[in-house]
Amino acid sequence: MAFIITANEERVKEAILTDVDRGVTKLQASGGFTDDERPVLMVVVNRNEVSKLKYTVQKIDHHAFVVVTNATEVLGQGFKMD
């Protein structure tokens, strides 16, 4: 799972939808230092797609803040149900 903060939210979102072929959830957040409102994009990918996701984001916004973390369990469209 990745959380992405970028100044180019729409372009990054479209690239993830088309190039990585994954859905995106937009969360609203505010900066802890500035209190400025900003969107955070949340994307769930499998291990094989992490590099492609990071490359896709970085080619659009090399200043993007990307946090990649392990999700214990993901259920839903695009992911296997055990």
Q: Tens of pLDDT along 69-78?
A: 999 888 887 7
Please report which confidence band the pLDDT of residue 48 belongs to, taking 50, 70 and 90 as the band edges. Answer: very high
Q: Can you tell me the distance from the alpha carbon of 29 to that of 71, in angstroms, rounded to the nearest whole number?
A: 20
15 or 81: whose pLDDT is higher?
A: 15
- Total structural domains within the chain: 1
Question: 65, 4 in Cβ contact below 8 A?
Answer: yes
81 found inside a domain: no
Q: Can you tell me the distance from the alpha carbon of 40 to that of 55, in angstroms, rounded to the nearest whole number?
A: 18
Domain range for 21 is: 2-38+48-68
On the question of pLDDT at 58 being above 90, the answer is yes
pLDDT at 81: 65
User: What does the DSSP assignment read for 14-54?
Assistant: HHIIIII----EEEEEE-TTT--EEEEEEE---GGGHHHHH
Q: Of 26-30, 33-37, 62-66, which range is least confident? A: 33-37
55 found inside a domain: yes
On the question of pLDDT at 79 being above 90, the answer is no
